[in-house]
Amino acid sequence: MPISKTCFRNLLLQDTVARQLSHSFSSGRIAQTYLFAGCESSGRLPAALAFAALLQCETPVTGDGLAVDACGECESCRRIAGDHHPDVTIVRPDGNEIRIDQVRALQESASLKPGTGRWLIFILDPADRLNQSSANSLLKILEEAPSHVVFILIARETGAILPTVLSRSEIVRFASPSPLEIRSVLAEKYGLSPDAASSCCSLSEGRLGQALLLAETSIMENMSPGLKYSHADFLNTIEMTSRYWQDLFAEASSLEESLRLAARPGREFYPPLLAVRKEFCRSLLMTETLPASFPILFADMLTERLDSAVRAMQKSFEPVFVEAKKAYPAAVVKDIEGSIDSMLNGWSHQQLEELLLCLLNMYSDALKVACGADETLLLNLDRKEDIITLAAVDSAVLLRARIELLEKSAGLLRRHVQPALVIENLITQIGGLEP
């Protein structure tokens, strides 16, 4: 019978973590609350499941330098590996946050006795997505929970957790594997060539979990041209057009400067698009055949990010207005606040149209370069190197096709077609272009 992945001996590049948790169990010093702190894809959730498996395991074993480990074979271990153990619960965000109603439901569950295991285990992944209300509610649960309840909080860093929660937690720190370590694991575990291992490491941006997923899909040996390359190239151009604006609003230090920046619609939404682009490109690279619904899912993701960007912008103005209220009449500040809120809330179509126009400028400049035009005629001289790269990758015919699609999409937006539908249509058609 194969050994379940929910074992410390299968936890990659986190030997110190495995030893710490194994010793906690073998010594009988089980903390009621653990905080697993480390970067994404460092193995925090697999480690949490491995620890939960050990706590519930019917026949723990020793070996591989560990005091004790889950057997990986008993009914309890198999249930945890299959994500259906009745006494192990993973609490994930509902939308962008872990909400107070989720924590209240957790409180009700924590008041019960274990059904089949020895412990009730609750894994909050990620715990840094608790809002203020849910974090305070969780603190109350931690203070009152029975001795058979164990909480495992997963977060990027300890600073994201309430100090009062942090003080009650045993901290387990996860190391960030080096590129060399990741490449070595990929070569050893999957037999990848040095070049393939390096490419997986690069595409994953040094995140072990993503690198393993890439390796498991045999992406490097099965890359196919066409749809995937075309999509990825288009989304990469979004990133190329966005670099200049990434920190623009964060640098605003006065009301006057904020108003000046706010008058340049759409600029603040580029940073959230970068995260979308990265996830989209990874999905393209890791999927042999895309489901028909994928463009729709991506469109929903994009519009959600845009909405999130608007909320972030509104929040970024808050400290500026705190200072402004000291220097401006209340009526003036209130009027300006209302104007900015109105502006931001009406930016959905405008934001996307701004994006498409920026992309049009980039592709138009690339077409000029591809056709041998003087570089002094470029609209985006500050992005000269990116434009030259773009022109070297795409033919003049393909650049013209992309420009035509972007112009068509911008026209749809101006006719008030739903932004998600416009983007869905654009992504689908971009993918049909021949590279």
Q: Which sign, positive or negative, has the C-alpha torsion 324, 325, 330, 334?
A: positive
Question: What is the C-alpha to C-alpha distance for residues 389 and 211, in angstroms, rounded to an integer?
Answer: 27
Nearest to 233 by CA among 353, 366, 357, 352: 366
Exposure string over 112-133, b if 16+ CB within 10 A, otherwise e: eebeebebbbbbbbbbbbbeee
For residue 145 the two structure tokens come to: 């929970």
Let me know: does 123 contact 156? Beta carbons within 8 Å.
Answer: no
Q: Which amino acid is located at 423 in the chain? A: I
Q: Provide the CB-side half-sphere exposure for 76 (13 A, CA).
A: 25
pLDDT of residue 340: 65
Residue 204 in 3-state DSSP? coil
Nearest to 66 by CA among 52, 54, 76: 54
Please identify which residue in the block is written with the tokens 């974090």: 135
Exposure string over 28-37, b if 16+ CB within 10 A, otherwise e: eebebbbbbb
pLDDT tens digit at each of 435 positions of the chain: 333 467 888 888 888 999 999 999 998 889 999 999 988 778 899 999 999 999 999 999 986 678 889 998 899 998 998 888 989 999 988 777 888 889 999 988 888 888 887 899 999 988 888 888 888 889 989 988 888 999 999 988 887 788 888 888 999 998 888 878 888 888 888 787 777 777 677 666 667 777 777 676 544 444 443 445 556 566 656 655 544 444 455 555 566 666 666 555 444 444 445 555 555 655 555 555 555 555 555 666 666 665 666 666 666 667 767 777 777 777 777 777 776 666 555 555 666 677 777 778 888 888 888 888 877 777 777 667 777 777 776 778 888 888 888 888 888 877 777 676 777 677 767 766 655
pLDDT of residue 294: 57
| CATH 3.40.50.720 fits domain 8-173 | no
Q: Residues 6 or more apart from 112 whose CB is under 8 A from it?
A: 120
Longest dimension (CA), the chain: 76
Q: Report how far Cα 343 is from the mean position of its chain's Cα atoms.
A: 28
Exposed / middle / buried, residue 103 (Cβ in 10 Å: 0-12, 13-18, 19+):
buried
Question: What is the C-alpha to C-alpha distance for residues 227 and 242, in angstroms, rounded to an integer?
Answer: 23
Nearest to 9 by CA among 37, 28, 57, 34: 57
Please identify which residue in the block is written with the tokens 């026949």: 59
What residues pair up with 69 in beta bridges, in sequence order? 61
Separation of first and last alpha carbons in the chain: 47
Let me know: does 125 contact 45? Beta carbons within 8 Å.
Answer: yes
Q: Which sign, positive or negative, has the C-alpha torsion 76, 77, 79, 83?
A: positive
Beta strands, E only, 142-264 = 149-155, 170-173
pLDDT of residue 51: 95
**In terms of DSSP bridges, do strands 149-155 and 170-173 run parallel, antiparallel, or are they unpaired?**
unpaired
What residues pair up with 130 in beta bridges, in sequence order? 98
pLDDT of residue 347: 53
Question: What is the C-alpha to C-alpha distance for residues 80 and 88, in angstroms, rounded to an integer?
Answer: 7
**In terms of DSSP bridges, do strands 61-63 and 66-69 run parallel, antiparallel, or are they unpaired?**
antiparallel
The predicted model scores a pTM of: 0.54
Identify the DSSP state of 4: P
pLDDT of residue 246: 44
